[in-house]
């Protein structure tokens, strides 16, 4: 190799920055888009369970979220970061937690509330207190209570995925398992959906009335399992939340104590989606093990409280929203263990 003289051979100015000069290969984009991929299988299945409009509603929700983010950031004079994939996740999650029979314009309003108000007006990613998708849903429930609590569709048994298109909500409306459980008890559930044995298997796969992306425990667990494998989420929040719901339902959910049905509790409503994908949101949940477990237990306990004593048949959405504001406190109270803090140091 020819002798290169130094001055000539250093072509551009050398990069100078503070150490470290190497990074792990992870990035925000990589994390977010991996979560998006893990969330797609429930969408695909929901097309076959509830029909093609789940895809349309989801597409509208994602597009609205991304557009709202770009517009919000422009209006707030901030750099536009839609490429990182976080607005896409909010769009997917927002669609997954609304009924499949809602009008197509509804997710647009939810998106504006979730992205503009709950995320960017509160400071943008990293600074929002509440889970944006859940705020979007809570807003829609408060503003359009009828549609949001009755636009259910019965799972498709025969026929094409286009069969529900064009029909009004009333024509084919049905009720969710949790609604029936709340008003008619477990006997009502068995009467409507079949024996407990067949309920467990059909609910596990996802064949039950419910929100667009919440019904398939199987696919949600697979997606969540991959995120666990990649160490993008840890077991603490999902396990503590699901276990608390199961335990507290077993104790308090039946006619007498210890007669509740824990398996039905965790296979119904938004437990799997909430525990694996909403409660584990980095920004709005604690980052250390103790805080995570308390957060999960709190969310689980509030879910059961709302389900058994509150007005709604399902409580996951509000339970997580109520735990979100405790996150900054948990971060401070249950921070990392210091190596050997000097005497008299704060904390």
Partner 1 sequence: MPKPLLTFPKGGVHPPEFKELTEKLPIEQGPVPKELDILLVQHFGAPCKPLVKKKAEVKEGDLIGKVEAGLGANIHSSATGIVKNVGKAPHPVSVTAPAVTIQVDSEAQAPSYEPKDWTSLSREELLAAVKKAGIVGIGGAGFPTHVKLSPPSEAKVDTLILNGAECEPYLTTDHRLMLEHSREIIEGAKIILTILGINTCHIGIEANKMDAVEAMERAIAEANLNGFKIQLDPLQVKYPQGSEKQLIQSITGRKVPGFGLPFDVGVIVQNVGTTKAIYDAVVFSKPLYEKVITISGRGINRPANLLVRIGTRISDIVQYLGGVKPNLAKVVLGGPMMGFAVPSLEVPITKTTSGILFLTEDEIDTNPYGQCIRCGWCLDACPMGLSPNEIGIYVEAGRAEDTSQFGVFECFECGCCAFVCPAKRPLVQFIRLAKSKAKK
Q: Closer to partner 1 by CB, 17 or 195: give it.
A: 17
> Measured from the CB of residue 124, what is the shortest distance to partner 1 in angstroms?
6
Q: Closer to partner 1 by CB, 20 or 166: give it.
A: 20
> Measured from the CB of residue 233, what is the shortest distance to partner 1 in angstroms?
10
- Exposure on the CB side of residue 273, measured as CA atoms within 13 A: 31
> Measured from the CB of residue 278, what is the shortest distance to partner 1 in angstroms?
15
How far apart are the C-alpha atoms of 79 and 82, rounded to whole Å?
9
Q: Closer to partner 1 by CB, 127 or 162: give it.
A: 127
Q: Please name which of 8, 190, 272, 215 lies closest in space to residue 98, comparing C-alpha atoms.
A: 215
Q: Closer to partner 1 by CB, 209 or 286: give it.
A: 286
> Measured from the CB of residue 65, what is the shortest distance to partner 1 in angstroms?
17
How far apart are the C-alpha atoms of 11 and 195, rounded to whole Å?
75
Helix (H, G, I), strand (E, B) or coil at 133: helix
> Measured from the CB of residue 133, what is the shortest distance to partner 1 in angstroms?
16
Buried b (16+ CB within 10 A) or exposed e, 227-240: bbeeebbeebbbeb
- Positions touching partner 1 (CB under 8 A) are 1-6, 9-24, 26-28, 30-31, 81, 84, 124-127, 282-283, 286-288, 335-343, 345-347
Residues 33, 87 contacting (CB under 8 angstroms): no
Q: Closer to partner 1 by CB, 27 or 167: give it.
A: 27
Q: Closer to partner 1 by CB, 59 or 125: give it.
A: 125
> Measured from the CB of residue 31, what is the shortest distance to partner 1 in angstroms?
6
Q: Closer to partner 1 by CB, 137 or 236: give it.
A: 236
> Measured from the CB of residue 122, what is the shortest distance to partner 1 in angstroms?
12
Q: Tell me the H-state helices in the chain.
A: 6-9, 28-50, 53-75, 86-96, 106-111, 132-143, 145-150, 177-193, 196-205, 217-229, 236-252, 262-267, 271-273, 289-309, 316-323, 327-333
Residue 35: Cβ within 10 Å count: 25
Residues 220, 277 contacting (CB under 8 angstroms): yes
């Amino acid at each position: 190799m020819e002798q290169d003289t130094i001055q000539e051979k250093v072509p551009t100015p050398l990069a100078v920055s503070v150490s470290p000069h190497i990074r792990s290969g992870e990035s925000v984009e990589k994390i977010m888009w991996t979560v998006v991929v893990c969330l797609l299988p429930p969408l695909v299945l929901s097309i076959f369970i509830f029909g093609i409009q789940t895809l349309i509603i989801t597409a509208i929700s994602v597009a609205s979220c991304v557009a709202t983010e770009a517009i919000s950031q422009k209006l707030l004079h901030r750099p536009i970061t839609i490429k990182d994939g976080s607005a896409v996740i909010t769009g997917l999650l927002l669609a997954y937690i609304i009924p499949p029979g809602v009008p197509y314009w509804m997710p647009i309003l939810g998106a504006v509330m979730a992205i503009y108000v709950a995320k960017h007006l509160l400071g943008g990613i990293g600074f929002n207190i509440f889970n944006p998708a859940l705020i979007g849903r809570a807003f829609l429930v408060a503003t359009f209570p009828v549609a949001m609590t009755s636009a259910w569709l019965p799972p498709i048994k025969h026929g094409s995925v286009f069969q529900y298109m064009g029909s009004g909500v009333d024509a084919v409306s049905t009720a969710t398992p949790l609604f029936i459980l709340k008003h008619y008890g477990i006997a009502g559930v068995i009467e409507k959906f079949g024996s407990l044995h067949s309920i467990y298997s059909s609910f596990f796969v996802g064949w039950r009335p419910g929100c667009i992306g919440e019904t398939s425990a199987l696919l949600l667990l697979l997606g969540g399992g991959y995120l666990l494998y990649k160490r993008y989420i840890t077991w603490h929040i999902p396990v503590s939340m699901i276990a608390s719901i199961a335990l507290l339902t077993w104790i308090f959910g039946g006619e007498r104590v210890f007669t509740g049905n824990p398996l039905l509790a965790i296979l119904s409503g938004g437990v799997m989606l909430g525990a694996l994908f909403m409660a584990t949101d980095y920004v709005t949940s604690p980052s250390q093990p103790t805080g995570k477990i308390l957060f999960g237990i709190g969310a689980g306990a509030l879910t059961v409280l709302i389900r058994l004593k509150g007005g709604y048949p399902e409580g996951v959405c509000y339970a997580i929203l109520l735990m979100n504001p405790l996150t900054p406190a948990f971060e401070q109270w249950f921070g990392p263990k210091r190596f050997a803090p000097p005497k008299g140091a704060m904390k």
